[in-house]
Copies of this chain bind each other. A is one copy, B any other.
Amino acid sequence: MKKVIEYIQENHDRYIGELNEFLRIPSVSTDPEHHEAVKTAAEFVAKQLQEAGMTTVEIFPTEGHPIVYAERLVEAAKPTLLVYGHYDVQPVDPIELWESAPFEPTIRNGELYARGAADDKGQVFIHFKSAEAFLNTGRQLPVNIKYLIEGEEEIGSPHLDPFIETHQDLLKADVAMVSDTAMFAHGVPSICYGLRGLTYFQLDLQGAHTDLHSGSFGGTVVNPAFELSKILTAMKDEAGRITIPHFYDDVRELTERERAEFARLPFDESTYKQAIGLKELSGEEGCTPLERLWVRPTFEINGLESGFTGKGAKTVLPAKAMAKVSMRLVPDQDPDKIADLFEDYVHALTPSSVHLETTRMHGGKPWVASLDHPALKAATQAIKKGFGKEPVFQREGGSIPVVATFAELLNIPSVLMGIGLPDENAHAPNEKLNLDNFYAGIKSSAYFLDELSRSGL
């Protein structure tokens, strides 16, 4: 590995040059005016992978933006790694807040400023260079490698799942590598090993068959907005615990090791509160903020609508009230089972004076990897060597759909090795990437290939 790491260190300037070329392509996937640029970015990725030494490189068209696939299979007995990433970027608005042009990469104080620097061009790029480093120093790759790089992540990946579904053989692998998240904090390299799931509902309550005058009818007619408020209020108790019967039955408790891992994370509550503009945090009693964010389920109202919401006053007694609600789920809660429990409960809470309609909007399973999984152990060693520091194990409160897809369709775990930082403005002006993390990321990626080959997978 010595030669490989030396090679990486010697090529820093070239890496920056090539990444800048990548970043100059304004591949804004949501904007029709940039569709040619999105195509150019796909071609850039293909060329990078070709030059890195992949034996197969193919640009698969979709009904949207193309998917770039590449592979180099070295030996059937070796583990196979599937690297996922995306070459599309977020829009740049509000453009006037950028200190340097979003598609003219600029280095200031060790940070590379450009749209896509952290999300995800800079992060996916490290995995191109790690493979290249082995092959350009006269070595074979220590594992079989496959790349799946899409151009629609920022618009919800509409064609990714269908592609994976129809290319399961092509994508067959032992583990996936996803670098599209942030480290816990600067100087705290991290592995994300768990994500929450989701079940999302729309509730529609109907009272009278039409809106009525609140003077002429008020006092005799059910108010669905009030009944909806009552139902929603009943969903949580004073301790912030969800009251749906059997809701917590399948919630997996934290292990002692996880609790210890969380405890050593440098979570600063006052910084966190300040960032979101709150004087105090809320949530379930008896749990730390990180536990409430990552390993405890939630019930949230996402939207409310009823009656008159314009300017001024209208004395209407609404006929309808609507709420969008969702529950974040944790292992081992099953979204379908929770949805059933929720529906039963909400119907039981609804008085006979209103008609309730529940609509299941969407759901996703929670995900968690075992900290003992060989791939996670390999990643731990790789980060330790690449960053010179033991990584922390963290989770995320949201979902990363592709991780769930890999688990469901390909039946493989993912290693979420994010080298971004929480303050890198992924979807905001002045997106940036810390160059020390970028270089350490390339090294870590190279070490990971080596560690994975010896992981026993």
With CB as the reference atom, state the residue of chain B lying closest to A290. B220
In the assembled complex, the Cα of A200 lies from the Cα of B298 at a distance in Å of 34
- A196 proximity list for chain B (CB < 8 A): 215
Tell me whether A219 and B284 are in contact in the complex, defined as CB-CB below 8 angstroms, given that A313-B324, A313-B361 are known contacts. Answer: yes
A 274-309 binary contact with B (CB < 8 Å = 1; else 0): 001111111110000100110010101111111111
A 210-230 binary contact with B (CB < 8 Å = 1; else 0): 101111111111110110111
With CB as the reference atom, state the residue of chain B lying closest to A328. B218
Q: Is A16 an interface residue (CB 8 A)?
A: no
Tell me whether A293 and B397 are in contact in the complex, defined as CB-CB below 8 angstroms, given that A226-B301, A313-B361 are known contacts. Answer: no
23 pairs of residues in contact across A and B, judged by CB atoms under 8 Å: A200-B315, A207-B278, A208-B277, A213-B398, A214-B398, A217-B276, A219-B298, A220-B292, A220-B293, A221-B282, A222-B278, A223-B282, A225-B303, A229-B229, A300-B317, A302-B317, A303-B306, A303-B308, A303-B309, A303-B318, A304-B304, A304-B321, A315-B398
CB–CB B318/A308 < 8 A: no
In the assembled complex, the Cα of A321 lies from the Cα of B198 at a distance in Å of 23
CB–CB A316/B292 < 8 A: no
CB–CB B324/A397 < 8 A: no
Number of copies: 2
- A207 proximity list for chain B (CB < 8 A): 278
CB–CB A396/B216 < 8 A: yes
Q: A328: which of B215, B300, B318, B326 is its contact (CB, 8 Å)?
A: B215
Q: Is A314 an interface residue (CB 8 A)?
A: yes
CB–CB A353/B314 < 8 A: no
Q: Is A157 an interface residue (CB 8 A)?
A: no
Central interface residue in A207, A221, A277, A309, by most chain B CB within 10 Å:
A221
Q: Is A209 an interface residue (CB 8 A)?
A: yes
Kindly provide the distance from the CB of A97 to the nearest chain B CB, expressed in whole angstroms.
Answer: 15
Tell me whether A353 and B279 are in contact in the complex, defined as CB-CB below 8 angstroms, given that A220-B293, A293-B220, A314-B302 are known contacts. Answer: yes
Q: Is A399 an interface residue (CB 8 A)?
A: yes
Q: What interface size band does chain A fall in?
A: 35 or more
**Contact residues, A423-453 vs B (CB, 8 A):** none
In the assembled complex, the Cα of A223 lies from the Cα of B202 at a distance in Å of 17
Q: Is A236 an interface residue (CB 8 A)?
A: yes
Q: Is A417 an interface residue (CB 8 A)?
A: no
- A226 proximity list for chain B (CB < 8 A): 232-233, 236, 300-301
With CB as the reference atom, state the residue of chain B lying closest to A359. B313
CB–CB B208/A276 < 8 A: yes
- A259 proximity list for chain B (CB < 8 A): none
- A214 proximity list for chain B (CB < 8 A): 298, 300, 302, 326, 328, 398
Q: Is A94 an interface residue (CB 8 A)?
A: no
Kindly provide the distance from the CB of A320 to the nearest chain B CB, expressed in whole angstroms.
Answer: 10
CB–CB B324/A309 < 8 A: yes
Q: Is A92 an interface residue (CB 8 A)?
A: no
**Sorted from nearest, which 10 A-B pairs have the closest CB atoms?**
A215-B398, A209-B277, A219-B292, A225-B301, A313-B361, A303-B307, A304-B306, A229-B229, A303-B308, A305-B309
Q: A277: which of B210, B278, B293, B312 is its contact (CB, 8 Å)?
A: B210
Tell me whether A223 and B307 are in contact in the complex, defined as CB-CB below 8 angstroms, given that A196-B215, A216-B396, A362-B313 are known contacts. Answer: no
Q: Is A352 an interface residue (CB 8 A)?
A: yes
In the assembled complex, the Cα of A25 lies from the Cα of B362 at a distance in Å of 56
Q: A298: which of B218, B278, B284, B303 is its contact (CB, 8 Å)?
A: B218
- A314 proximity list for chain B (CB < 8 A): 302-303, 324
- A399 proximity list for chain B (CB < 8 A): 215
With CB as the reference atom, state the residue of chain B lying closest to A231. B229
Q: A283: which of B212, B220, B230 is its contact (CB, 8 Å)?
A: B220
Central interface residue in A303, A317, A318, by most chain B CB within 10 Å:
A303
